[in-house]
Amino acid sequence: MSDPSHALLDGLRRIVGQPHVLTHDDPDADLAAWEQDWRKRSRGQALAVVRPASTDEVAQVVRLCAEMQSATGVSIVPQGGNTSMVVGAVPDASGRQVVLNLQRMNRIESLDAGNLTLTAQAGCVLQNLQEAAARDGFLFPLSLAAEGSCTIGGNLGTNAGGTQVVRYGNTRDLCLGLEVVTAQGEIWNGLGGLRKDNTGYDLRNLFIGSEGTLGIITAAAMKLVPLPAAQLTAWAAVPSMEHAVALLGLAHKTLGAGLTGFEVMGQFALSLVARHMPQSPVPLYETTPWCVLLEVSDHESEEHARSQFERLLEAGMEQGCITDGVVAESIAQARALWQIRENLPIAQAIEGLNIKHDISIPISRIPAFVAATDALLAQALPGIRMVDFGHLGDGNLHYNVQAPEGVDAAAFLRDNEATVNTLVFESVAKFGGSISAEHGIGSLKVDKLPGYKPPVALEMMRAIKRALDPHNLMNPGRVVRI
Ligand code: FAD
Ligand code: MLT
Ligand code: ZN
């Protein structure tokens, strides 16, 4: 390591304290938790993992890195819970990147019941935020399988979706203010929590979904809603994707704003949960190509929710959209059904390395998209296994590809990932969709984006990046190359 890097590390230790700068100089240090991504697609090597305890420390770290960038070649990778699906939060192999992990900044700062907002530091784990809201009688409605470890800063960085977007929107829709450390190490306090503010460009929304490439989110003011009086969950077998879409239409009509979640799960995807998580029995999947998980929430009463839900399920049966179904009779049963859904990505990871997609398509075109793209993939790569599931209510499918049974998954990905991505993304474009609805661009899609984003839009993105981070200090090589 050259001397400027030593000086940089010394400076970082002075800012955050010796124990909070982890490096490979310590032969006992195991940095895998910060250097390896959740999907095991990439293991980089950091110059250091730095764990600040306050916004001021984040600002000092950024200022020092900016000052020493030309001497050391350092850049910064903001990291929360490291659950990124697109290799967005781990360092590259250069040994020059500082992973700036925000997990020590995990305080709930305040809950303003009158304004229906909760303000938290960026490293606050999503589940802790949900629990803090619930203790005061509120719901924080962002919900996803990684909620036990992902952070609100990471959720904002990726504009995460999850399973309640149908009713409450993405993370962006739930955010009323941010505190940000800029790429120059200045602190912007935009935590006002205002519902209306038309004083020029919307800076908050620029940082949301920017995947750590424009600055570091250090705190956020998030919207709350009162806890509903009742939540009901049902699991339905549906005979085809066309029927799943028809059932969604019926659900909107019958439940109105009460429709909270509408998830679809393919038979093979569910078989992976049955195989790898036998403690989590999967209902109905053996005799149907698709199952749907529906949730209604109701501010009136459980009886009201139940009668609406029963009306929907009866209409679904009458119209042939549902062939069989179960309604959870208790909170425990509802949790067990959601657990199956949330186990899908974990079961898929246990099955082996895979190619993931988080595409969106206009909902009405999803059945035709799936039929056409399944056929193209089956022809190009006989034997591949489709692990399809996702947020049908949002038109967002996890249209995932697993290697053929018995084939070495790493070799399959090496030889075929590019072909699979091209086939899927071309089809997505043909059907008027987006190549990323949830997980973002990260490293995995950065070279694909220019093929699917209009050049004018891409150039505006580059101009924003150049304006806010002219020296490419923040998460370089992710989202957009400049
Ligand atoms: P990280 O993985 O640490 O970072 C993600 C990105 O945000 C990186 O680009 C990083 O640089 C940036 N970032 C992190 N913190 C900050 C910050 N404070 N300021 C600026 N940038 C920052 N995503 C969905 O949208 N919907 C789902 O349903 C969903 N389910 C998931 C289920 C599982 C089992 C897993 C492993 C992941 C899932 N994800 C889902 C993907 C993932 O995006 C989310 O888990 C989450 O939003 C990432 O939060 P994190 O704290 O782990 O962020
Ligand atoms: C989900 O919906 O479970 C996630 O986005 C994770 C995945 O795509 O595997
Ligand atoms: Zn998802």
Nearest ligand to the CA of 158 is 1
The predicted structure's pLDDT at residue 247: 98
The predicted structure's pLDDT at residue 29: 87
Chain segment 425-479, per-residue pLDDT in tens: 999 999 999 999 999 999 999 999 999 999 999 999 999 999 999 999 999 999 9
Q: Say yes or no to pLDDT of 187 above 80.
A: yes
- What is the identity of the amino acid at 479? V
CB atoms within 10 A of CB 377: 20
Indicate the average pLDDT of the chain.
97
Q: Which one of 79, 86, 125, 163 would you pick to mutate in the ligand 1 pocket, going by the greatest count of ligand atoms within 8 A of its CB? A: 79
The predicted structure's pLDDT at residue 371: 98
Chain segment 97-134, per-residue pLDDT in tens: 999 999 999 999 999 999 999 999 999 999 999 999 99
Backbone φ, ψ for residue 114 (5° rounding): -70, -35
Alpha helices in 125-211 (DSSP H): 126-135, 152-158, 165-168, 203-207
Question: How far apart are alpha carbons 275 and 73 in whole angstroms?
Answer: 47
Ligand 2: nearest atom to the Cα of 358: 8
- What is the identity of the amino acid at 320? G
Ligand 2: nearest atom to the Cα of 391: 2
Does the pTM of the predicted model rise above 0.95? yes
Residue 162 Cα to ligand 3 midpoint, Å, equals 5
Pocket of ligand 2 (CB under 6 A): 85, 145, 344-345, 356, 358, 390, 398, 438
Pocket of ligand 1 (CB under 6 A): 38, 77-85, 88-89, 102, 122, 144-146, 150-151, 153-155, 157-158, 160-162, 211-212, 216-217, 345, 438-439, 475, 478
Residue 237 Cα to ligand 3 midpoint, Å, equals 20
- Atom 46, ligand 1: which residue's CA is nearest? 155
Three-class secondary structure of residue 245 per DSSP: helix
The predicted structure's pLDDT at residue 359: 98
Chain segment 419-428, per-residue pLDDT in tens: 999 999 999 9
Chain segment 352-408, per-residue pLDDT in tens: 999 999 999 999 999 999 999 999 999 999 999 999 999 999 999 999 999 999 999
The predicted structure's pLDDT at residue 28: 85
Mean pLDDT, rounded, for 10-30: 95
Question: How far apart are alpha carbons 265 and 343 in whole angstroms?
Answer: 11
Q: Say yes or no to pLDDT of 284 above 70.
A: yes
- Domains of the chain (ranges; CATH) run 4-101 (3.30.43.10), 108-226 (3.30.465.10), 230-430 (3.30.70.2190)
Residue 466 Cα to ligand 3 midpoint, Å, equals 31
Mean pLDDT, rounded, for 70-94: 98
Q: Say yes or no to pLDDT of 1 above 60.
A: no
The predicted structure's pLDDT at residue 27: 84
Mean pLDDT, rounded, for 80-95: 98
The predicted structure's pLDDT at residue 425: 98
The predicted structure's pLDDT at residue 2: 58
Residue 26's pLDDT band (boundaries 50, 70, 90)? Answer: confident
The predicted structure's pLDDT at residue 294: 97
Mean pLDDT, rounded, for 142-159: 98
- Atom 4, ligand 2: which residue's CA is nearest? 345
CB atoms within 10 A of CB 405: 9
